[in-house]
């Protein structure tokens, strides 16, 4: 088995010892205009860090905050960052993603493909970047959120509009008190960071020494399960309990944090949790919504009961259908996980399975993570591999399959990932390419095809004319009725803004939504801007959201609905109030008929 290496916590960069070099770099950048990447690289080479390496962009920004510029004192931080020409790829989708992980905790699943790294939440490995950050912060939600915001800010990224992504194991299997506490502490960090308040020293999660656990489990001979080992450590740390007494909060405390965040300088414009189909019930859907969540990541893995059973998934396709229907009917964005190359499948069967994802109205996800199965030593799949019962697809076989999947992905779905962030040293056999999507796209283009999913069409930093945008409406059936995908796109099919509108065939289960059409998402692409800021030629703050909402209201009214509801995030409530929506219990509503 591969032994883990002990990583030292990262030290915060101190610009003071490098004052001379940094001031020189800052002065030259401040004195320049329209510097390109090559010109900035030449400046960095003139003033190397310690005489050898080069300063990173975040270190230069830290230097500007510490020393400013001696040449142009009127140049503020925003102007300097713009001149430095950082390209905020992560924030070009309009929001800044902040991913945090729950602590290791028992999981109801027994999937044979799932890694068993007992130092991490189930299915995650300690070499994954997000997992490393979580471990460095002791899996504390406040520390993870606050420090990630600081890291973004240090690189010049805006942090006014944040999508909180909570990953790790099965969210719905955690006790309610932990769920409420975890969400509250994330919101506390957003609220504090926006005010310039640092309460990291008061972070309340009791540290558990997961790093002291032995090396990862050997999937070929599991003497003790992941759940047994993790439960034992937690009970040893917390006196027979799996959770520490500090890891608890009330709904009233969370709702108070929500109220502050509505007008905070650093707002949650989306909250995402990760769970399993068999954990979804009407009660769980209501609880997730009460937390302030707007999107659910859910692992379907396969649409074949035979394959699911062979891989000991623990739930069938019928459970996936029920879960997606409940979540869609509550307005959540559906971010599905799907895995080709599972035990008992083949490339041909996977191609048919993927087509079924979008041919069957019960599925048709809004977003999708496509994870080809890779063999990790701690997974029980090791035994199947050594017995010759499972093999990884060959390179060409896998790339051809993925190229077909890319081509079949409809324009209303965003294909967010094509690989897991597993380190190549963790993968026994299977794909180790980090640019697998790019390789598959090249294969697709070579055979005359193209990819039209949302990610491929996003406007990003391409300039456009607002007057030339065309509004289109793509209608498709889902398990609850008609879905309208309204979008503004350029003549070159670059996506600028979109809205998802559900028009249910029958009253929705939630009493608050019984007579409502339902907006499930409004998204405007382009650089993530600070609240209230505008930019010339950019997509955000051009009124596109309002135009989409007004069109959705027209469609809902024409279909006979008297109310238009929206599953708003905590940080977007003020925005929707400005467009005629009023607060309900868990949704906001806009009447469609005159009083």
- What does the pLDDT average to over 224-230? 85
> Cα(316)–Cα(302) distance, rounded to whole angstroms?
9
pLDDT score recorded for residue 78: 56
pLDDT score recorded for residue 595: 54
Residues 73, 75, 78, 80: is their CA dihedral positive or negative? negative
Question: If pLDDT is split at 50, 70 and 90, which confidence band does 536 have?
Answer: very low
Give ∠ CA 168-171-174 in degrees, rounded to 5: 110
Give ∠ CA 214-215-219 in degrees, rounded to 5: 120
- What does the pLDDT average to over 84-91? 51
Question: If pLDDT is split at 50, 70 and 90, which confidence band does 426 have?
Answer: confident
Domain 294-457, classified CATH 3.10.105.10, yes or no: no
DSSP 177-213: HHHHHHHHHHHHHHHHHHHT---GGG--PPP--GGGS
What strands, in cross-sheet order, belong to the sheet with 470-478? 470-478, 481-489, 495-504, 516-524, 563-566, 588-591, 582-583
pLDDT score recorded for residue 74: 56
Q: What percent of the chain has pLDDT over 70?
A: 87
pLDDT score recorded for residue 242: 87
Answer whether 7's CB lies under 8 Å from 44's CB.
no
Q: 55 vs 26, 45, 58, 80, CA distance in Å?
A: 11, 9, 8, 16
Which of 380-384, 536-540, 554-558, 583-587 is the least confident region?
Answer: 536-540
pLDDT score recorded for residue 85: 47
Which of 88-97, 289-298, 309-318, 436-445 is the least confident region?
Answer: 88-97
Q: How many alpha carbons fall within 13 Å on the CB side of residue 420?
A: 27
Q: How many alpha carbons fall within 13 Å on the CB side of residue 228?
A: 6
* Closest by CA position to 300, among listed 243, 346, 360, 257: 360
pLDDT of 204 higher than 70: no
pLDDT of 373 higher than 50: yes
> Cα(352)–Cα(176) distance, rounded to whole angstroms?
39
- What does the pLDDT average to over 558-576? 97
* Closest by CA position to 544, among listed 568, 517, 519, 526: 526
- What does the pLDDT average to over 300-308? 98
pLDDT greater at residue 97 or residue 60 = 97
End-to-end CA distance of the chain: 70
* Closest by CA position to 249, among listed 282, 281, 280, 290: 290
> Cα(594)–Cα(319) distance, rounded to whole angstroms?
41
pLDDT score recorded for residue 6: 41
For the stretch 245-276, pLDDT in tens is 889 999 999 999 999 999 999 999 999 999 99
- What does the pLDDT average to over 373-378? 92
pLDDT score recorded for residue 29: 76
> Cα(409)–Cα(364) distance, rounded to whole angstroms?
10
Domain 466-591, classified CATH 3.40.630.30, yes or no: yes
Give ∠ CA 567-573-574 in degrees, rounded to 5: 155
For the stretch 50-86, pLDDT in tens is 765 677 766 777 777 777 665 554 566 656 666 664 4
Which of 129-133, 160-164, 404-408, 533-537 is the least confident region?
Answer: 533-537
Answer whether 105's CB lies under 8 Å from 169's CB.
yes
pLDDT greater at residue 339 or residue 65 = 339
* Closest by CA position to 163, among listed 27, 321, 32, 269: 269
Q: What token pair was written down for 293?
A: 């969540």
pLDDT of 40 higher than 80: no
The DSSP symbol for 371 reads -
> Cα(95)–Cα(263) distance, rounded to whole angstroms?
16
Q: 566 vs 217, 570, 575, CA distance in Å?
A: 45, 12, 12
pLDDT greater at residue 71 or residue 500 = 500
* Closest by CA position to 433, among listed 404, 405, 392: 392
3-state secondary structure of 552: helix
Q: Over the chain, what is the mean pLDDT?
A: 88
Q: 176 vs 145, 257, 283, CA distance in Å?
A: 20, 17, 12
Domain boundaries, the chain: 16-86, 96-272, 294-457, 466-591
């Amino acid at each position: 088995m591969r032994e883990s290496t002990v990583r030292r916590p990262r030290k915060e960069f101190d610009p003071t010892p490098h004052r001379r070099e940094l001031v020189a770099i800052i002065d030259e950048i401040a004195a320049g205009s329209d510097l390109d990447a090559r010109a900035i690289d030449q400046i960095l080479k003139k003033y190397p860090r310690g005489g050898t390496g080069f300063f990173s962009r975040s270190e230069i920004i830290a230097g500007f905050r510490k020393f400013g510029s001696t040449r142009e004192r009127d140049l503020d931080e925003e102007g300097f960052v713009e001149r430095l020409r950082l390209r905020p790829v992560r924030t070009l989708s309009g929001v800044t993603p902040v991913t945090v992980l729950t602590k290791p905790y028992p999981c109801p699943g027994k999937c044979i493909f799932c890694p068993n790294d007992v130092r991490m939440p189930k299915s995650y490995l300690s070499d994954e970047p997000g997992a490393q950050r979580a471990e460095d912060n002791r899996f504390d939600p406040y520390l993870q959120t606050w420090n990630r915001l600081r890291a973004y800010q240090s690189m010049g990224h805006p942090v006014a509009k944040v999508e909180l992504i909570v990953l790790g194991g099965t969210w719905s299997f955690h006790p309610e008190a932990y769920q409420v506490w975890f969400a509250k502490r994330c919101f506390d960090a957003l609220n504090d960071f926006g005010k310039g308040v640092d309460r990291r020293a008061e972070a309340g999660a009791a540290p558990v020494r997961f790093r002291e656990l032995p090396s990862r489990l050997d999937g070929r001979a599991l003497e003790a399960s992941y759940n047994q080992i993790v439960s034992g450590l937690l009970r040893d740390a917390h006196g027979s309990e799996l959770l520490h007494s500090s890891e608890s909060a009330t709904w009233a405390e969370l709702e108070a944090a929500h109220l502050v965040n509505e007008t905070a300088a650093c707002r949650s414009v989306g909250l995402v949790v990760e769970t399993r189909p068999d954990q979804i019930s009407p009660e769980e859907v209501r609880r997730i919504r009460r937390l302030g969540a707007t999107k659910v990541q859910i692992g379907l893995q396969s649409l074949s009961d035979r394959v699911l059973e062979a891989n000991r998934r623990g739930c069938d396709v019928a459970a996936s259908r029920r879960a997606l229907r409940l979540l869609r009917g509550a307005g959540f964005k559906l971010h599905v996980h799907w895995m080709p190359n599972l035990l008992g499948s083949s490339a041909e069967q996977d191609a048919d399975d993927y087509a079924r994802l979008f041919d069957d109205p019960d599925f048709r996800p809004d977003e999708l993570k496509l994870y080809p199965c890779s063999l990790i030593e701690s997974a029980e799949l090791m035994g199947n591999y050594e017995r010759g019962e499972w093999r990884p697809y060959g390179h060409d076989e896998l790339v051809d399959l993925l190229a077909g999947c890319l081509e079949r992905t409809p324009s209303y779905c965003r294909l967010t990932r094509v690989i897991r962030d597993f380190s190549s040293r963790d993968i026994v056999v299977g794909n180790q390419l980090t640019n697998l999507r790019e390789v598959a796209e090249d294969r697709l283009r070579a055979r005359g095809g193209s990819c039209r999913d949302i990610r491929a069409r996003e406007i990003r930093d391409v300039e456009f004319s607002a007057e030339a945008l065309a509004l289109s409406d793509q209608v498709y059936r889902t398990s609850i009725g008609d879905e309208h995908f309204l979008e503004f796109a350029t003549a070159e099919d670059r996506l600028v803004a979109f809205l998802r509108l559900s028009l249910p065939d029958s009253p929705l289960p939630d009493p608050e939504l019984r007579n409502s059409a339902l907006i499930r998402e409004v998204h405007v692409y382009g650089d993530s801007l600070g609240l209230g800021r505008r930019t010339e030629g950019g997509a955000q703050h051009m009124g596109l959201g309002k135009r989409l909402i007004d069109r959705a209201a027209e469609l809902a009214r024409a279909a006979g609905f008297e109310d238009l509801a929206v599953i708003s995030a905590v940080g977007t409530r003020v925005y929707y109030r400005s467009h005629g929506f009023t607060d309900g219990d868990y949704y906001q509503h806009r009447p469609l008929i005159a009083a």
